[in-house]
A = this chain, B = another copy of it.
Amino acid sequence: MKIADLAVLRETGECSMATIRDVAKLANVSIATVSRVINQNGYVNGETKKKVNNAIELLKYKPNSIAKGLASGKTKTMALILPDISNPFFSELARAVEDSASSQGYTVFLCNTDSDTNKEKDYIRKMKDRFVDGILFAGHTLQEPEIKTLEEEKIPLVVLDRAPGEDICLVVRSNNREGAKLAVRHLLEIGCNKIAHIYGPQEVATARERLLGFEEAVKEFSWYTPSLLEQGDFTIKGGMDAVGLLLKRHPDVDGIFTGNDLMALGALKKLKQLKIKVPDQISLIGFDGIELTEITEPEITTIAQPIYQIGSLATSLLIKKIEGSLLLHKSHEIDVELVVRGSTKGNSKVIS
Contacts and interface: CB of A to CB of B under 8 A. Distances in A.
A95 interface: yes
A294 B266 CA distance: 10
A24 to B, nearest CB: 19
A75 B129 CA distance: 12
A70 B72 CA distance: 13
A66 B62 contact: no
A13 interface: no
Contacts of A63: 129
Interface of A: 62-67, 69-70, 75, 77, 80, 84-86, 88, 91-92, 94-95, 98-99, 102, 107-112, 126, 129-131, 236, 265-266, 268-269, 272-273, 291-292, 294-297
This chain's copy number in the assembly:
2
Contact of A112 (B66, B67, B99, B236): B99
B88 A129 contact: no
18 contacts: A64-B70, A65-B129, A70-B70, A77-B109, A84-B95, A85-B85, A85-B91, A86-B91, A86-B92, A88-B88, A88-B91, A99-B112, A102-B126, A107-B109, A110-B110, A236-B295, A268-B297, A296-B296
Nearest to A94: B85
A53 to B, nearest CB: 18
A77 B88 CA distance: 25
Would you list the 10 A-B pairs with minimal beta carbon distance, nearest first?
A: A91-B91, A272-B297, A86-B95, A110-B110, A86-B91, A66-B69, A66-B70, A86-B92, A269-B297, A70-B70
Contacts of A85: 85, 91, 94-95, 98
B295 A265 contact: yes
A99 B113 CA distance: 10
